Amino acid sequence: MTYHPNMGITRELYNEQHVTSAYQGDIGERIEIKAKVKYQSGSLTDWGYKFYVTLEDEMNNLFFYAGSVDLGKPEQQVSIRATVTRHGLKNGKRTTYVSRPLKLVKEVS
């Protein structure tokens, strides 16, 4: 179900009732994220290739990254440490924007 102005409720109330994602971390904080790549695209810029990646964790929290680091293919599980740059709504869902991701490597025992 998507929002329509004739539903009799405000967009804010609709989002509160239907959005399951929550903001993660404080702005400027380094957080660890274990999530699945939900969507990835990219473009060629004057400074190289830029990736646009949307991640979703097990609790349906959304993260968005735009930069030069390839975080993986869609449906691939990733584990990263990144800096929270801001919180905002993206396509009507609460999204945590991150930068400077570092892929975490699992230790082999």
Q: Strand 77-90 and strand 62-67: pairing?
A: unpaired
Query: What span, in angstroms and rounded, lies between the C-alpha atoms of 12 and 25?
Result: 22
> What are the beta bridge partners of residue 69?
none
In the chain, domain spans: 21-103
pLDDT band at 13 (very low <50, low <70, confident <90, very high): low
Question: Could you read off the pLDDT of 51-93 as tens digits, one per residue?
Answer: 999 999 999 899 999 999 999 999 999 999 999 999 998 887 8
Region 37-58: mean pLDDT is 95
21-103 CATH pick, 1.20.1070.10, 2.60.120.460, 3.30.460.10, 2.40.50.140: 2.40.50.140
Could you give the angle at the alpha carbon of 14 between the alpha carbons of 56 and 27, nearest 5°? 45
8-state DSSP, 106: P
Q: Which of 47-51, 73-77, 104-108 has the lowest mean pLDDT?
A: 104-108
Question: 101 with 52: CB under 8 angstroms?
Answer: no
